[in-house]
């Protein structure tokens, strides 16, 4: 067989890609074994039928051919309007390029910010695809740890220490996996690092509609940051449209034009009927997004109530997003060992903390993605399981 590129061979860095337990849970489910699935950020509701009707109608009207590569004008305008409303930063269609989901937006952004071999910073804990995305773009991923004792927010000191020679910094708030929302002091520190070391800032904001405490502040809204910030967004979480693959990058106009060139030689645009459905969905407004987010607000309250009644498991600050990051070190197990044992003995699937970096090896991430009653029952079982482990002889 002909040689395979080193870029592809080493996307995972030579180790696990973090999805082993998820894949095992899917295998069990395929065998007919009942598993409570609390691994990935997939809503327990499907895409709203009214959005699917809009998609079907657009296809019926013939929107099935090639669509505008950077996104149809109506969708770019709708994304710009939403961005300006939520962040307060003037944004026009020329600042928007539509991508096949947020993951594609992350990849495109990292194709732009550096050349092969350049260093690209990202913050740990991280969404499981981040280091692979950076490697796939030909860059060298450099991890900066946000420690549990600092509330999983990166410090300016740690970022400054890692920044010399880097080209970019990837941040994510509200954060997956921890649920932490970066405070203004943290974002000001990020700004100082980016300006001192002339970094591009890639800001993953796909959970901006899921804010439970405080407020989400986009780093693009900080004075002077608009010109160096690439904001990644998506309709997957805000509108329960994960399979529609509608994402975007918000950037300076000249950057959007360059990303247009990249789209031309990669995905060549997104189907027009899906984009039309995106326009319709965004037109439902902020009240609709709040309705999609509401189940996770309720399940966060369930989580806090159940955690308050025991002493073994603790949670990271749950400021936003659809997850809770649980510290299970009180059981005597690592997060990875706890997650595998929980799956095999209780048939509850959660993501091991090690999937998101070394900072969360003593944790598991629980996706609050089943209906309220099932979620409460599963979390009660998880906490009872943890209590039994904590009481067991060493």
Is residue 18 scored above 80 in pLDDT?
Answer: no
Number of domains in the chain: 2
State the burial class of residue 11 (Cβ atoms within 10 Å of its Cβ: 0-12, 13-18, 19+): middle
Q: Is residue 158 part of a domain?
A: yes
Q: Are residues 121 and 253 in the same domain?
A: yes
Q: Are residues 253 and 357 in the same domain?
A: no
Q: Are residues 80 and 150 in the same domain?
A: yes
Interval 16-25 mean pLDDT: 83
382-393 as b/e: b if 16+ CB within 10 A? bbebbbebbeee
E strands in the chain: 36-38, 96-99, 119-124, 140-145, 166-172, 200-204, 229-234, 247-250, 314-315, 323-327, 348-352, 363-367
Q: Is residue 294 part of a domain?
A: yes
Please answer whether residues 366 and 354 qualify as being in contact, where contact means their C-beta atoms are separated by less than 8 angstroms. no
Please answer whether residues 381 and 345 qualify as being in contact, where contact means their C-beta atoms are separated by less than 8 angstroms. no
Provide the token pair at 83.
């961005």
pLDDT value of residue 9? 87
Q: Are residues 174 and 291 in the same domain?
A: no
Q: Is residue 394 part of a domain?
A: no
Confidence bin at 6 (pLDDT 50/70/90): confident
Q: Which of 199, 62, 95 is nearest to 139 (CA)?
A: 199
Interval 186-215 mean pLDDT: 97
Least confident of 13-27, 142-156, 221-235: 13-27
Interval 325-353 mean pLDDT: 96
Q: Are residues 247 and 381 in the same domain?
A: no
pLDDT value of residue 392? 82
Q: Are residues 320 and 235 in the same domain?
A: no
Quote the CA–CA distance of 92 and 83 in Å, as a whole number.
Answer: 9
φ/ψ of 165, rounded to 5, equals 85, -10
Q: Is residue 318 part of a domain?
A: yes
Kindly report the number of other CB atoms within 10 A of residue 243's CB atom. Answer: 12
pLDDT digits (tens, 9 = 90+) for 228-279: 999 999 999 999 999 999 999 999 999 999 999 999 999 999 999 999 999 9
pLDDT value of residue 370? 97
Provide the token pair at 287.
């009240």
Q: Which of 135, 323, 113, 115 is nearest to 203 (CA)?
A: 113
Q: Is residue 237 part of a domain?
A: yes
Confidence bin at 393 (pLDDT 50/70/90): confident
E strands in 239-341: 247-250, 314-315, 323-327
Q: Are residues 331 and 345 in the same domain?
A: yes
Q: What percent of the chain has pLDDT over 90?
A: 93
Q: What percent of the chain has pLDDT over 70?
A: 98
Confidence bin at 16 (pLDDT 50/70/90): low
Please answer whether residues 356 and 146 qualify as being in contact, where contact means their C-beta atoms are separated by less than 8 angstroms. no
Q: Which of 238, 254, 284 is the last residue before a domain boundary?
A: 284
3-state secondary structure (DSSP) of residue 204: strand
* CATH of residue 356: 3.90.1150.10
pLDDT digits (tens, 9 = 90+) for 105-129: 999 999 999 999 999 999 999 998 9
Q: Are residues 142 and 169 in the same domain?
A: yes
Quote the CA–CA distance of 65 and 24 in Å, as a whole number.
Answer: 39
Is residue 15 scored above 80 in pLDDT?
Answer: no
pLDDT value of residue 17? 59
Q: Are residues 366 and 261 in the same domain?
A: no
Interval 171-188 mean pLDDT: 97
Q: Which of 284, 312, 335 is the last residue before a domain boundary?
A: 284
3-state secondary structure (DSSP) of residue 276: helix
Q: Which of 284, 315, 330 is the last residue before a domain boundary?
A: 284
For Cα atoms 59, 61, 63, give the angle at the middle one, nearest 5 degrees.
Answer: 50
| 285: Cα within 13 Å, side-chain hemisphere | 1
Q: Is residue 256 part of a domain?
A: yes
pLDDT value of residue 196? 98
pLDDT value of residue 349? 97
Tell me: cis bond preceding 349? Omega within 30 of 0 counts. Answer: no
Quote the CA–CA distance of 362 and 59 in Å, as a whole number.
Answer: 48
pLDDT value of residue 1? 86
pLDDT digits (tens, 9 = 90+) for 290-333: 999 999 999 999 999 999 999 999 999 999 999 999 999 999 99
Residues in the chain, total: 394
Q: Are residues 29 and 72 in the same domain?
A: no
pLDDT value of residue 394? 63
What value does the mean pLDDT of the chain take?
96
Q: Are residues 372 and 344 in the same domain?
A: yes
Q: Is residue 263 part of a domain?
A: yes
Full domain range(s) for residue 254:
50-284
* CATH of residue 242: 3.40.640.10
Interval 197-222 mean pLDDT: 97
pLDDT digits (tens, 9 = 90+) for 28-44: 999 999 999 999 999 99
pLDDT value of residue 7? 85
pLDDT value of residue 89? 98
Quote the CA–CA distance of 200 and 230 in Å, as a whole number.
Answer: 8
Q: Is residue 347 part of a domain?
A: yes
Q: Are residues 256 and 351 in the same domain?
A: no
How far is the CA of 114 from the CAs of 169, 198, 218, 271, in angstroms? 11, 12, 22, 29
Quote the CA–CA distance of 318 and 177 in Å, as a whole number.
Answer: 10
């Amino acid at each position: 067989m002909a040689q395979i590129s080193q870029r592809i061979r080493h996307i995972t860095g030579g180790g696990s890609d973090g999805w082993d337990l998820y894949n095992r849970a899917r295998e069990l489910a395929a065998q007919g074994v009942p598993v409570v699935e609390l691994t990935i950020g997939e809503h327990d509701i499907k895409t709203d039928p009214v959005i699917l009707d809009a998609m079907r109608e657009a296809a019926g009207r013939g929107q099935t051919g090639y669509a505008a590569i950077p996104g149809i004008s109506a969708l770019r305008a709708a994304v710009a309007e939403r961005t300006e409303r939520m962040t307060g930063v003037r944004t026009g269609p020329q600042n928007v390029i539509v991508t096949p989901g947020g993951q594609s937006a992350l990849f495109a952004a990292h194709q732009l910010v550096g050349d092969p071999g350049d260093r690209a910073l990202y913050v740990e804990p991280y969404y499981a695809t981040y280091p692979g995305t950076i490697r796939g773009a030909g860059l060298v991923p450099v991890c900066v740890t946000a420690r549990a004792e600092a509330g999983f927010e990166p410090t300016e000191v740690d970022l400054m220490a890692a920044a010399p020679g880097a080209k970019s910094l990837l941040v994510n708030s509200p954060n997956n996996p921890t649920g932490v929302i970066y405070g203004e002091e943290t974002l000001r520190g990020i700004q100082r690092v980016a300006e001192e070391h002339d970094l591009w800032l890639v800001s993953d904001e796909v959970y901006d509609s899921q804010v439970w405490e405080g407020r989400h502040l986009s780093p693009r809204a900080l004075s002077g940051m608009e010109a160096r910030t690439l904001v990644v967004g998506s309709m997957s979480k805000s509108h329960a449209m994960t399979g529609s693959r509608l994402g975007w990058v918000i950037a300076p106009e000249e950057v959007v034009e360059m990303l247009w060139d990249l789209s031309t030689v990669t995905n060549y645009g997104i189907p027009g009927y899906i984009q039309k459905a995106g326009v319709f969905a965004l037109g439902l407004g902020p009240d609709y997004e709040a309705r999609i987010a509401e189940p996770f607000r309720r399940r966060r309250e369930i989580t806090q109530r159940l955690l308050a009644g025991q002493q073994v498991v603790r949670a990271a600050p749950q400021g936003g997003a659809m997850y809770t990051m649980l510290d299970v070190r009180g059981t005597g197990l690592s997060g990875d060992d706890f997650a595998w044992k929980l799956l095999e003995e209780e048939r509850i699937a959660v993501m091991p903390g090690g999937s998101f970096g070394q900072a969360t090896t003593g944790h598991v991430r629980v996706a609050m993605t089943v209906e309220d009653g099932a979620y409460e029952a599963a979390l009660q079982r998880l906490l009872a399981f943890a209590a039994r482990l904590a009481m067991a002889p060493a």
